[in-house]
């Protein structure tokens, strides 16, 4: 038996996992399907590999958060299929998406499954890869810049900082049912940065729970809406003002909430962006 400190033989481990998979059902030419991260919005934040897969694709199955500018990199003849999910309004069910990917790959087409940010961060990329592999298809995962990294950088927020934050936690704001509640006490520990995805609607409850579990009400917080795009908005506030800020500014998805000492850098970046001399004085 393996002691906890023994290294895992990944090669053997992988072979054992592969042996458990069902036999391939598709033709020999099927796949690989590329599950590709499109980054947070700015098309220049695509990876070179993502760009190459897009340019070569016959079929691109994409989500709502993938911008038109990114899709424009596809070759003219490529088929683009929108399967986006807005809150409560799904263009296609996950089963339909899985079937679509399988069908096109088995027909011998080069399929790109294009997702906003990184496909393996709150993107169901893991489930889709599992499904495709379980049906005998090869899958290539091309990582992308996830919203936390992209939005924080674009807002001037260092996610870690030797003086302020030694850890970063990515959390979904969707966990509202009692059985899906996050570990609030763990999240409320100081010295870390929280980045909350899909957290606009639950901002009030998030702030209330964190404060109830001991995080100081004056902890800096920031909201980055449509980060890295031309419509980006950055709002700097405090934990106890987060819900009011979100409501008053009418923040809409996609947005991330950044909570922790480093969020104060958002304010500093905003201040630097302001003209040093008021516009009316400059005109004199």
Ligand X SMILES: C[S@@+](CC[C@H](N)C(=O)[O-])C[C@H]1O[C@@H](n2cnc3c(N)ncnc32)[C@H](O)[C@@H]1O
- Pairwise CA distance, residues 126 & 131, whole Å: 9
In which region does residue 60 sit, left (phi positive, over 0), alpha (psi from -120 to 50) or beta (all else)?
A: beta
Kindly state the smallest distance separating residue 246's Cβ from ligand X, in Å. 12
Contact set for ligand X, span 83-112 (CB under 6 A):
none
- Three-class DSSP category at 172: strand
Tell whether residue 235 is a contact of ligand X (CB under 6 A).
Answer: no
Question: Are 88 and 174 contacting, i.e. CB atoms less than 8 angstroms apart?
Answer: no
Euclidean distance between the first and the last CA atom of the chain, given in angstroms as a whole number: 80
Site string for ligand X, 126-165 (x = CB under 6 A): --------------------xx---x--------------
Smallest Cα–Cα separation from 195: which of 117, 272, 250, 127? 117
| Contact residue for ligand X among 122, 136, 156, 260 (CB under 6 A) | 122
- Say which of 49, 58, 85, 270 is annotated catalytic: 85
| Contact residue for ligand X among 219, 228, 237, 245 (CB under 6 A) | 228
Site string for ligand X, 236-275 (x = CB under 6 A): -----------------xxxx-------------------
DSSP letter string, 234-277: EEEEEGGGHHHHHHHTT--SSEEEEESGGGHHHHHHHHHHS-SS
- Pairwise CA distance, residues 228 & 154, whole Å: 6
| Contact residue for ligand X among 31, 41, 136, 156 (CB under 6 A) | 41
Torsions phi, psi of 277, nearest 5? -110, 130
How many residues sit close enough to ligand X to count as binding (CB under 6 A)? 24
Q: What interhelical angle do 94-106 and 125-134 show, nearest 10?
A: 50
Instruction: Clarify whether 42 is annotated catalytic.
Output: no
Tell whether residue 65 is a contact of ligand X (CB under 6 A).
Answer: yes
Tell whether residue 224 is a contact of ligand X (CB under 6 A).
Answer: yes
Could you tell me the sign of the dihedral formed by the alpha carbons of 65, 169, 198, 156, in that order? negative
- Say which of 42, 63, 118, 226 is annotated catalytic: 63
Span near ligand X by CB under 6 A; candidates 1-9, 10-18, 48-56, 117-125 = 117-125
Instruction: Clarify whether 63 is annotated catalytic.
Output: yes
Give whichever of 132 and 203 is closer to ligand X, judged by the CB atom.
203
Q: Which residues belong to the active site? A: 63, 85
Residues near ligand X (CB under 6 A) are 40-41, 65, 115-118, 121-123, 146-147, 151, 197-198, 224, 226-229, 253-256
């Amino acid at each position: 038996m393996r002691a906890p400190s023994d290294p895992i033989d990944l090669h053997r481990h992988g072979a054992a996992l592969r042996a458990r998979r069902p036999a391939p059902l598709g033709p020999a030419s099927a796949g690989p399907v590329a599950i590709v991260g499109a980054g947070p919005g700015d098309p220049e934040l695509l990876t070179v590999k993502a760009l190459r897969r897009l340019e070569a694709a016959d079929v691109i199955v994409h989500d709502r958060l993938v911008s038109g500018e990114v899709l424009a990199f596809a070759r003219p003849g490529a088929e683009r299929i929108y399967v986006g999910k807005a809150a409560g309004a799904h263009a296609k069910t996950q089963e339909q998406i899985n079937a679509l990917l399988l069908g096109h790959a088995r027909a011998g087409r080069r399929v790109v499954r294009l997702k906003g940010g990184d496909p393996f961060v709150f993107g169901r990329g893991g489930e889709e890869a599992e499904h495709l592999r379980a049906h005998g298809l090869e899958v290539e995962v091309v990582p992308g810049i996830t919203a936390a990294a992209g939005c924080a950088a674009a807002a001037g927020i260092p996610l870690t900082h030797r003086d302020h934050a030694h850890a970063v936690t990515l959390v979904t704001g969707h966990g509202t049912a009692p059985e899906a509640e996050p570990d609030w006490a763990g999240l409320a520990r100081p010295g870390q940065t929280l980045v909350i995805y899909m957290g606009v609607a639950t901002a009030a409850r998030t702030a209330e729970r964190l404060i109830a579990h001991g995080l100081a009400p004056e902890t800096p917080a920031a909201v980055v809406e449509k980060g890295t795009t031309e419509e980006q908005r950055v709002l700097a506030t405090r934990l106890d003002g987060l819900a009011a800020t979100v409501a008053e500014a009418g923040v809409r998805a996609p947005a991330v909430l950044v909570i922790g000492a480093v969020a104060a850098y958002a304010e500093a970046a905003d201040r630097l962006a302001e003209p040093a001399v008021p516009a009316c004085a400059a005109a004199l």
